[in-house]
Chain A
Amino acid sequence: MTVSRIQPGSPPLRNVAYQRLVAERNRFTVVMTLTFLVLYFLLPILAGYNKPLMATKVFGNVTFGYVFAFLEFVVGWVMAAIYVVRARAFDRLAAEAQQ
């Protein structure tokens, strides 16, 4: 792959769209990643340190542990959907940055 070297402070890097892209994407990535890590690690932490809660029956014989675990799947799908929507804006900024 031969691409001309991008010099520090050269136009592409000073491009407003590019700077916005980097800032917004980084912020989004950090916020989303911390959110899902906290939500996920609640599961093993509760499973380890609060066994009575995990074994509590919420409805019928379905325990809090299972309800919580199933909710983790919902969290995963919802966060993926949010990402897909946000990514469209990132794609537009990326296209602008390359003008």
Chain B
Amino acid sequence: MTFVLAAVIVAITLAITFWASRRNTSASDFYVAGGRISATQNGIAIAGDYMSAASFLGITGLIALNGYDGFMYSVGWFIAYLTVLFIVAEPLRNLGKYTLADMLVYRLQDPRVRTYAAISTIVVSAFYMIAQVVGAGSLISLLSGGVLGASVAIPLVGVLMIIYVVVGGMLATTWVQIVKAVLLMFATIIMTVLILNRFGWSFSNLLGQVEARNGAEFLGAGVKYKNPVDLISLGLALVLGTAGLPHILVRFYTVPTAQDARKSVVWAMVLIGAFYVMTAFMGNAANVLVGKETITTANAAGNMAAPLLAQALFGGAGTAGGEFGLAFVSAVAFATILAVVAGLTIAASTSFTHDIYKGVIRKGQASEREEFRVARLATIGVGVIAIGLGLLAQTQNVAFLVALAFAIAASSNLPVILFTLFWRRFNATGAIWGIVGGILTCLALIAVSPNIRGIDPPEKTTGRHPVQAAPLFPYENPGIVSIPAGFAFAALGTLLGAARRREGADQDFDEMQFRAYTGAGTDGTVAAHD
């Protein structure tokens, strides 16, 4: 039954894709749906982009296994939208560019920054994508009773995603995300209503049962994160990282005006907020109704808590209702993963084609036809890389993996975006130092952190650290060091490059600022490149 439902959802989304493909005639259509998505549609699509497998599968699992600490992810991910709303959404839309690199080159007038911005986009997208394909892998291997392992599931997701993006472009991706967001909200609401019904319409009763099973500490902080600095580091990465995520940024270019960009973010906040509040119910209910042992048996990192909860709510394992619940929620999660990965792929392949191929390799000389073709080829390349990396990271909790992508985005993209928009003296050297310094600091800290290094007790066979040695950096999320480092590198580079400041840099800043604040020069569609 699961496969029938999953097949129906895949069929619907493929139909959308082919419908969209007939309307996809230019590179602008492919990248940003020609800038003609409405604010409401875009808001639902942003929410669809954001309520990823990491949120739905990952957070439910984290709360089910660690109690309150898991819910802190939900709060951070929601509040992060205020950073997007207040600081980046409108100015970026006002500048009317396709990518982060376009914005940097427009302001700094230096072709070197294009390459670095594109690399940053691709690195962040890749980390985010790993989490999604890992989610897909655990889901499908659970559904097939272990017959289809992650090594089959991950390529399957990869191929479907490539089809969506190559054939349908941004228009199809947007609609797939809308359909998926609606399905996901529907599933979450039904489950929450069933949970409340089960526990006498009282969150307090639910928590009482959690306490009876796990002890009082489960209702407070500190089960997963013993060290306060770890929590603050994670919070920084979540709250500051969203504003630097390429697949969120690209969404502001798909709407006609800056007002629409703002409205989209508000729509997204309503949906995302409602969704994340419900994770508190789902996670705790999974702890009580499914139990930690069953959840960790299905997937050690907790990624299967939500589908197993649906099974329990609809009548339990072995009943027709239970199997339907499991199948429906799994199919929704599967659609979720496909939609999110498609959005990421668009961001990464746009960046490669538009910034590296057209901007750097062909020095802006590529014809639209050629660019369109390379964009499709790049999509296939990005898909293959995502599949490969996903196979390497199968055993990690997906919410945690995504948090690392946020740390990289917050350390490399955010300093550069903020300085570009608001710092008159900022220059190309600063942009390059900020991007390279932020990414390298982040990756270096992850490499020596407990994510990679650690000494496992000999009886533990799952979740072993790849390097059996004491970690050199004590925190799981590098944000607390790497985010200030990213800002410091960008500032230092700016000062070092100041001597070679171009003539006209002041005018460029004034012009960029005038547009960022007023939207002058953006006439309702995304302007042609340069």
Q: Which residues of A contact B (CB under 8 A)?
A: 1, 3, 5-8, 12-13, 18, 21-22, 25-26, 29, 32-33, 36-37, 40-41, 43-49, 51-52, 54-55, 57, 59-63, 65-66, 69-70, 72-73, 75-77, 79-80, 83-84, 87, 91, 94, 97-98
Contact = CB atoms under 8 A, between A and B. Distances in A.
Given A36-B79, A66-B71, A1 B521 contact: yes
A11 to B, nearest CB: 11
Contact of B220 (A8, A54, A60): A54
A8 to B, nearest CB: 6
Nearest to A12: B514
B227 interface: yes
Name which of B87, B270, B518, B519 has the most chain A CB atoms within 10 A of its CB: B518
A77 B207 contact: no
B395 interface: no
Contacts of B78: 72-73, 76
Interface residues of B, number: 67
B527 to A, nearest CB: 4
B262 interface: yes
Interface of B: 68-69, 71-72, 74-76, 78-79, 81-83, 85-87, 90, 96, 202-205, 207-208, 211, 216-217, 219-222, 225, 227-232, 234-235, 239, 259, 262-263, 265-266, 269-270, 273, 276-277, 280, 422, 506-507, 510-511, 513-514, 517-521, 527-530
Nearest to B526: A1
Contacts of B231: 44, 47-48
Contacts of B265: 80
Contact of A65 (B208, B211, B221): B221
B507 A80 contact: no
A66 B207 contact: yes
B367 to A, nearest CB: 19
B511 A5 contact: yes
Nearest to B71: A69
Nearest to B276: A73
23 contacts: A6-B510, A8-B510, A22-B513, A22-B517, A26-B422, A29-B86, A32-B82, A40-B239, A44-B228, A44-B231, A45-B232, A47-B228, A48-B227, A61-B219, A69-B71, A69-B72, A72-B75, A76-B81, A76-B269, A87-B259, A94-B518, A97-B517, A97-B518
Name which of A32, A40, A70, A77 has the most chain B CB atoms within 10 A of its CB: A40
Contacts, number: 177
Nearest to B527: A1
A60 B207 contact: yes
B11 to A, nearest CB: 36
Name which of B81, B90, B219, B221 has the most chain A CB atoms within 10 A of its CB: B221
Nearest to A58: B204
Nearest to B202: A60
Contact of B221 (A1, A48, A76): A48
Contacts of A98: 518-520
Contacts of B222: 47-48, 51
Contacts of B529: 1
B269 to A, nearest CB: 5
Contact of A59 (B82, B204, B211): B204
A84 to B, nearest CB: 6
Contacts of B239: 37, 40
A3 B227 CA distance: 53
B208 A73 contact: no
A2 B426 CA distance: 23
